[in-house]
Structure 1
Amino acid sequence: MSKAWIGIDGGKTHHWAVAVDETGSTVLSRKVPNDQATIEQLIADTTRLAEELTWAIDLTDSSTAIALALLHRAGARVVYVPGRMVNRAADSYRGEAKTDARDALVIADQARMRRDCTTLVPPAELVAELATLVTHRGDAVGDRARLITRLRVHLTGIFPGLDRALDLRKRTSLVLLARWQTASDVRAAGVKVISAHLIGHGARAADAIADRVMAAAKAQTIAVRGQATTARIVAEIARQILALDKWIKQVDHELAEKVAAHPAGTVITSMPGMGVTLTAEFLVATGDLANFSGPNHLAAYAGLAPIPRDSGRISGNLHRPIRYNRMLRRVFYISAMVAANVPGPSREYYLRKRAEGKRAVQAQIALARRRVNVLWAMVRDQQPYNPTSRTNIPDAA
């Protein structure tokens, strides 16, 4: 047998591997625990199946990290078959059963028939580190939002006036809540003590905040059932958020160092709207720009190149694609939204699109698409952002 395709249906505890030949017939089907020894044995066994092997996988997250590392070390060609493709293709196969073996067969067969599957290459060590930091930072920011929601629920139950007097997203409010949580405690402390405590933690407008808090405390004299326990929980959550903020700040510092160490990091961060976090997400989402043929390819990968959805006499219907990188689209959209509020070429372009009759979201997407070309030219030429330069910027498709 000259060629074979091996599909891997990835999982946390085990994978399922199915190999097919050039006719699509199954020549191997095996359940493989997610550990190094068994995966290495699978790779060794499949080398005897055919002269040319292509591996296909539907997941590229932590559950398949060991398998991908071993395949790359072995010099294997690995392609990515998206889960959406597998899901839709599975309907065209005989039977309605849903098993890991069947999914692996579909993955292998799709890799055999299709020529548009992306080849997976191992990321550079710096990009891999950025990916881990970006993921952990995103989780921490999500945890912070959930904790603030939980804090507001508990605080509203015992002291709603304090919830209205404070902005729970700010550090000063959290510092105060870590010390005082009930109306009686606030009244007992007094304005001077609260103000001095906030000033000691670097708070601004401490006197005004203390006055608002005291006014809220004087307006409530009743104590609800279970107030002591709820107050303790409020204080604990406030401390958790403060600790989380400190950890996020450390991650941001590490991200800044690693982005600065990347060859394109300084160039990308020079563009208005592209801060350290968005630049790190951009580097993670794109990996190596050499994988893209040009800015139009990058824009399509980011979901910023509309695709036609025509039928019969109906034409000119452009829609957002279904398959695109969500993280990359988010990077360009948020950076465009930020840049549109800063005086300069980006804001001028945004206002011009608004004057043409486009809605705000449409103008921001148009600006995001334009900035793909600008960013591509900057990285290509290794030149920082220059608002007066208009040379060598490719036109949008």
Structure 2
Amino acid sequence: MINEHETIDVYIGADVGKSNHHAVALNKAGKKLLDKALPQDETKLKSLIKSLSKHGRLLFVADQPATIGALPVAVAHAAGIQVAYLPGLAMRRIADLHPGEAKSDPRDAYIIADAARTMPHTLRTVEVPEEQVAELSMLCGFDDDHAKQSTATSNRIRGLLTQIHPALERVIGPHLDHVAMAELLAKYPSPAALRRAGEARIGALLRKHAPRAWKGWAHEITAALAAQTVVVSGTEAAGIVLPELARMLAQSRSARATVLKRVEELVTDHPLHLMLDSMPGVGIRTEARILTEVTGKDFATAGHLASYAGLAPVTWRSGTSIRGDHSSRKGNKVLKRALFLSAFASLKCKDQVSRAYYDRKRAEGKKHNQAVIALARRRCNVLFAMLRDGSIYEAPQALAA
């Protein structure tokens, strides 16, 4: 973007909104060519671009290139003009350089346009993602939402069981990730209902979903029920809430399974699948997140990729009082989480390189999370080289051989 900055004649800053946007257009000298509100409408956006095209080459800059800003970005791309976005944190810092403290759409749009005109290094290029990646991004976001919902629902169930019957929670709680326990609580949601059902019926229900573990679980549940005879206050209300929570949990997991099936199809059909799949600790969901967050972006070095992911250490220096390197709190949190979990998963794979590096960091005195982050940073180098060269993963010992 910086290299082509001199060829731009008009800078359009757009403060996007759900139903309306506000656009400000500036020429090279900073003169306002446009300052108006625009509806979230394709025809109006095309008309804006057409009216400004007579002034020369355009650059369209938005503060949110996705979600509510997706339509303006798509219209600008379709019109063949350059598109960029100004990150929110950079925009807020730049806003402090402008007089006034008001927070309004016209002011924000002007700040975006002026930043594009005078500080091109603050901009980020926006590329139209390929259809596969765009679909993966939407599906992964849906999957993330359901993962959070499943965790919250599971914790809520465990909390209620702990309140009314701790012994029962110690048996059911650790296995709530299994569909059998959700089905059990949906049908027999209270200790009283489980006692009336008896071990035989409990076992029959569990057997449908857990053919190997059903007998042991049924016996443990019956023993737990016998360990508590008093009825705790709130047990009756819990009997109403628990089946609803169990059904919510089952529904969330069913939705995730459906989405995962489609994600797997998209990932396996992608040209980078064989390359990413060869890396230890990289599964379908991690592959999907690497594709949505990395592909289409240009990284000059492995350090650039690590910095983008928030895995590069940040040096703090202030005289003699503050010294040291710390983990970054910035970066792409979605990618950082995916690479962190991938590094953790690689410790259980046959690849001994990751385990050896992790053990070395632990021996240096680093805590578990610090060692895994260091491993994830090291794996960024490998990932960058694989994407750059188009090669699959090869363990160092295999290369030596």
1:264-316 Cα offsets, whole Å, 9 max, x none, are 11210221111110110011001225x22232221221122334444568897
Amino acid at match of 2:136: L
Please say which of residues 331-340 and 93-102 is displaced more in the overlay.
Answer: 331-340
Q: Could you tell me which runs of 5 or more consecutive residues in structure 1 were left unpaired when the two chains were aligned.
A: 393-397
Which of 252, 257, 273 does residue 260 from structure 2 map onto? 252
Please say which of residues 331-340 and 101-110 is displaced more in the overlay.
Answer: 331-340
Partner Cα separation in structure 1 for residue 204 and residue 178 of structure 2: 18
SS at match of 2:381: helix
Residue in 1 aligned with 2:333?
326
Residue in 1 aligned with 2:112?
107
Which of 388, 395, 400 does residue 380 from structure 1 map onto? 388
* 2:281 is aligned with 1:276: no
Residue in 2 aligned with 1:134?
140
Partner Cα separation in structure 2 for residue 61 and residue 40 of structure 1: 18
Residue in 1 aligned with 2:58?
53
Instruction: Say if 2:27 and 2:33, in contact at 8 Å, map to a contact too.
Output: yes
TM-superposed CA distance for 1:96, in Å, is: 1.1
Amino acid at match of 1:354: R
SS at match of 2:222: helix
Change (3 A) 1:159 1:68: same
Residue in 2 aligned with 1:174?
182
Please say which of residues 213-222 and 6-15 is displaced more in the overlay.
Answer: 213-222
SS at match of 1:94: coil
Partner Cα separation in structure 2 for residue 314 and residue 127 of structure 1: 47
TM-superposed CA distance for 1:157, in Å, is: 5.1
Q: Tell me the percent identity.
A: 36
Partner Cα separation in structure 2 for residue 305 and residue 249 of structure 1: 34
* 2:127 is aligned with 1:121: yes
* 2:362 is aligned with 1:354: yes
Partner Cα separation in structure 1 for residue 164 and residue 363 of structure 2: 50
SS at match of 2:43: helix
1:128-173 Cα offsets, whole Å, 9 max, x none, are 0110111110011111112223333444454444223212333222
Amino acid at match of 2:206: L
Residue in 1 aligned with 2:3?
none
1:219-247 Cα offsets, whole Å, 9 max, x none, are 44455677555423311221221122122
Normalising by structure 1, we get a TM-score of 0.90
Normalising by structure 2, we get a TM-score of 0.89
Which of 50, 65, 80 does residue 75 from structure 1 map onto? 80
Change (3 A) 1:201 1:313: closer
Residue in 1 aligned with 2:303?
296
Instruction: Say if 2:183 and 2:246, in contact at 8 Å, map to a contact too.
Output: yes
Please say which of residues 147-156 and 75-84 is displaced more in the overlay.
Answer: 147-156
Residue in 1 aligned with 2:294?
286
Instruction: Say if 2:84 and 2:125, in contact at 8 Å, map to a contact too.
Output: yes
Which of 21, 27, 34 does residue 21 from structure 1 map onto? 27
Instruction: Say if 1:299 and 1:369, in contact at 8 Å, map to a contact too.
Output: yes
Q: Could you tell me which runs of 5 or more consecutive residues in structure 2 were left unpaired when the two chains were aligned.
A: 1-6
